[in-house]
Structures are given as structure tokens and as C-alpha cells.
Amino acid sequence: MDEDDVLHDGTVIETRTKAVYAIYGMGRIESIWGKDCREYKPERRLRDGNYMSESAYKFSAFNGGPRLCLGKDFAFYRMKFTAASILYCYTEKGVKGHPVAPKLALTMYMEHRLMVELIFFY
């Protein structure tokens, strides 16, 4: 394939042009992630109250497919360990009046979200 390429906005990429992209910057593009792209907002993964995963290629900090970062799992385990270490200093108490019921399925999970109050005790 020795043909130039034309992007959707009309930009011409000449044959054999070397291209790079900035992974750090890709995670902060307003047109993809919204005006609040620099804010930590886990709820942006929710659609109608349900978790919706995104393509691994949309947020490419760990890349995806056959070139997946070998440290991705370690980073996620470290994040979970850190959260568990913080929560270790708290005890939890169910929120009064919030219904606690299982949802019957092949694997059981909560019918409603489990609402708790965290009480610092350490």
C-alpha cells in the first residue's frame, strides 16, 4: 500500500509518514471524554445506573489487544490493595431504611446497591 491516506477532516497523511500519539494526552481530550475530562468521576462509567465498560482502545494508557501492557494487572491489583488498606481503618454500618435484598440469578448479587456508612475507628 503506497497510497496517501486522508482523514475524516481532510488531513492528508503522506505515504511512509511516521506518526506518534501521546497516551497521556489521549486520556484528556474533551471531544472524547467531555468538558470535565480532567476530573476523577467514576460515575462516567455508569449508564442508567449500570456499569458500562469502554473499549480498551478508547483509553489507551495500558494499550489493548496483543500489545497490552504487562503491568496493567499489577496496577489494578495495587489500586485494589490501596483501597482495601484505606477501608481497613473503617467499620461499616448499613444505612437505616435502605432495603437489603439479594437478586436471584445464576450468580447472586444485590437487588439494590448496598448503602453503608463508613465509621473511622483506627
**Whole-prediction pTM value?**
0.50
72-119 tens-digit pLDDT: 889 989 999 999 999 999 999 999 999 988 888 888 888 888 889 999
Residue that the C-alpha cell 481532510 belongs to: 10
- On whether the CB atoms of residues 54 and 44 are closer than 8 A, the answer is no
Question: Is the dihedral angle over the CA atoms 15, 17, 18, 19 positive or is it negative?
Answer: negative
Residues 68 and 60: their CA atoms lie apart, in Å, by 9
Domain ranges of the chain: 5-69
Give the pLDDT of residue 96.
93
* Average of per-residue pLDDT across 56-67: 76
